[in-house]
Structure 1
Amino acid sequence: MRVWTSWSRACERRRLARSLLISPMNGDKWRLTLFCGTRSRFVFLFLAVLCGPTAVSQAHPLAPSLLELTEVADGVVDVRWKVPALRVRGSEVHPEFPASCKELVPPVGSPEGEAIVLRWQIDCGVAGLAGEEVGVRGLGAGSNDALLRVALSDGRVFQHVLRSEQPIWRIPETGRPQSVFSGYLRLGFDHILEGLDHLMFVLGLLFLATRPLVLVETITSFTIGHSVTLALASLGIAQVPSRPVEVLIAISILVLALELARGPAARPTLLRRFPWGMAFLFGLLHGLGFAGALAEIGLPPDDLPLALLSFNLGIEAGQLAFVACILVAGFLLRPILRRRPQWVDMLPAYGIGCLSVYWILQRLLGA
């Protein structure tokens, strides 16, 4: 009889533990209403992102190609063509010059980080490049944008972002700072939306900080954190190797996933009590990752503050767009997800955690 009673009590304790693990926290009237009292309202949206055909491969987006043209003298132009070493199969991009330009020195290639750099010289005649059209052919769905940087012999410098819909650009007569601003704004926006690891961290913050005020504080802290290190690293004040940074970014996502897996009924840790502090500290890491991507692109020396500011604003715009989409989708899906199995509450934590472990191993092994 005692054995049966002890076994029954043990079973009851296990059932209670399971219910505490997966049951949402009730009675908190200040919880964000669109979550409907549980973080699992967004699970289907999370799975849609996770199951995309290129979800894992886009954890670290490919940097755009870079075409640098520098006039040296009498129409002679030094060409520097930088393309990612890892390219999507079938994507062949190549620079295009005016018909008047002739090759003087054949291209010589060398590896540079995760890219291949080709250097050669062309002769575009006495008139040079002013008023001519240059660009990159082959931009499309299988390749990212290309950044064009032109330095004329009279000291004028131009910068422009080439895209599949506008792969050719005419070099203007005067400099236009607004082209630098709009170009780097778009690059920052695209980078955050193509970086699945950064988006998964932001998604985890949404699940962790469900109260409106805490959510605003947490996202703001993350923004401040990565803005600080992005500026310091881009200006050369803080120099950290990219590979350890990428590994630590993946570890930060794992730490967040482990905290989510504990559930709201568990004893609150410092991470759950002060999510804004965790967001700020881990934001410092993510800012170094953004700086690494910006280093691959390069910054114009004459417009460095403007380019840095616009790139950071682009990141913030993309981040806010992602958060807004998640919140709106959660609100719209609320009636559909009222009746759900309770075990799905833990799926976001497990999904984010599995992805983070994959990224850790991938970056440690250099895959």
Structure 2
Amino acid sequence: MDALYFELGWQHIVNWDAYDHILFVIALSAIYLLRDWKKVLVLVTAFTIGHSVTLALSVLNIIRIPSEIVEFLIPVTICITALSNILRKTEQPQSLQLNYFYALFFGLIHGLGFSNYLKSLLGSQANIVQPLLGFNIGLEVGQIVIVMAILIFSTLIVNIGRIKRRDWTMFLSSATFGAAFIMVLEGIRTFSE
């Protein structure tokens, strides 16, 4: 593994400039508490697998999608995930199936968002396996740190703050939806110009 690219991947996900990816991780984690950490780890890993696939394909120039489309689709994925949390009928997450699908499929879209950044770093480097692996592992570690912070904070709010779990999920998901929806509107405005 390439330590430089691990550091770049780590810094990229925990940097507030990558708030769109942070918002997706928040939306994905909003329905869980600290006791659900194993389920969330599966989700984050599915997200990493998804974005690793498209990141590799894009860096190798196998797929090419205009960045304007990708930058529009990323907040759409956040809105869909947050809206799914809001419309959820039960307080407790019953199964991973839908969230696992969101994490994996939407990870494919987010990987395209990472690709321009990584392509600029790699330049004309011939061997991309180690840098790509290092970058993805750095992203995964960064995502786990963000998820753990969300789970700890959510657990404190629900258990110590005595806020109903459903109310907290609604608040967190609605705030995430609102932030992402503004990004969607900005994307629509960009397309119409």
TM above 0.5, yes or no, is: yes
Give SS of 1:265's match.
coil
My pick for the range that moved more, 304-313 or 274-283, is 304-313
Relative to 1, partners in 2 of residues 1:324 and 1:302: Cα closer, same or farther, differing over 3 Å? Answer: same
Deviation at 1:225, TM superposition (A): 0.6
Query: How many angstroms apart in 2 are the aligned matches of 1:257 and 1:342?
Result: 13
Relative to 1, partners in 2 of residues 1:272 and 1:262: Cα closer, same or farther, differing over 3 Å? Answer: farther
Q: Of residues 297, 303, 310 in structure 1, which corresponds to 2:121?
A: 297
Q: Is the 8 A contact 1:185 1:314 kept in 2?
A: yes
Query: How many angstroms apart in 1 are the aligned matches of 2:163 and 2:12?
Result: 37
Deviation at 1:296, TM superposition (A): 3.2
Query: How many angstroms apart in 2 are the aligned matches of 1:342 and 1:216?
Result: 21
TM-score (norm 1): 0.45
Query: How many angstroms apart in 2 are the aligned matches of 1:321 and 1:342?
Result: 24
Note the 1:1-367 alignment, pairs <5 A. Answer: 181-194=2-15, 195-208=18-31, 211-265=36-90, 273-338=97-162, 345-366=169-190
Query: How many angstroms apart in 2 are the aligned matches of 1:237 and 1:341?
Result: 44
* Structure of higher RCO (CA pairs closer than 8 Å, 6+ residues apart): 2
Deviation at 1:235, TM superposition (A): 1.2
Relative to 1, partners in 2 of residues 1:273 and 1:311: Cα closer, same or farther, differing over 3 Å? Answer: closer
Query: How many angstroms apart in 2 are the aligned matches of 1:260 and 1:299?
Result: 40
The one-letter code sitting in structure 2 at the alignment partner of 1:191 is H
Query: How many angstroms apart in 2 are the aligned matches of 1:294 and 1:323?
Result: 23
Deviation at 1:328, TM superposition (A): 3.0
Deviation at 1:228, TM superposition (A): 0.7
Which ranges of structure 2 fall in alignment gaps of 5 or more residues?
none
Deviation at 1:258, TM superposition (A): 1.1
Relative to 1, partners in 2 of residues 1:345 and 1:234: Cα closer, same or farther, differing over 3 Å? Answer: closer
Superposition CA RMSD, Å: 2.9
Greater strand proportion: 1
Query: How many angstroms apart in 2 are the aligned matches of 1:259 and 1:272?
Result: 13
Relative to 1, partners in 2 of residues 1:272 and 1:238: Cα closer, same or farther, differing over 3 Å? Answer: same
Deviation at 1:220, TM superposition (A): 1.9
Q: Is the 8 A contact 2:54 2:108 kept in 1?
A: yes
Question: What are the Cα deviations for residues 37-80 of structure 1, in whole angstroms up to 9, with x where unaligned?
Answer: xxxxxxxxxxxxxxxxxxxxxxxxxxxxxxxxxxxxxxxxxxxx
Deviation at 1:293, TM superposition (A): 1.8
Question: What are the Cα deviations for residues 124-168 of structure 1, in whole angstroms up to 9, with x where unaligned?
Answer: xxxxxxxxxxxxxxxxxxxxxxxxxxxxxxxxxxxxxxxxxxxxx
Question: What are the Cα deviations for residues 333-353 of structure 1, in whole angstroms up to 9, with x where unaligned?
Answer: 555311579755521121111
Query: How many angstroms apart in 2 are the aligned matches of 1:339 and 1:331?
Result: 10
Q: Is the 8 A contact 1:222 1:283 kept in 2?
A: yes
Which ranges of structure 1 fall in alignment gaps of 5 or more residues?
1-177
**Greater Cα radius of gyration, structure 1 or 2:** 1
Aligned residues: 186
Q: Is the 8 A contact 1:259 1:272 kept in 2?
A: no
Query: How many angstroms apart in 1 are the aligned matches of 2:104 and 2:58?
Result: 17
Deviation at 1:287, TM superposition (A): 0.6
Greater helix proportion: 2
Query: What corresponds to 1:154 in structure 2?
Result: none
Query: How many angstroms apart in 2 are the aligned matches of 1:328 and 1:345?
Result: 14
Deviation at 1:303, TM superposition (A): 4.1
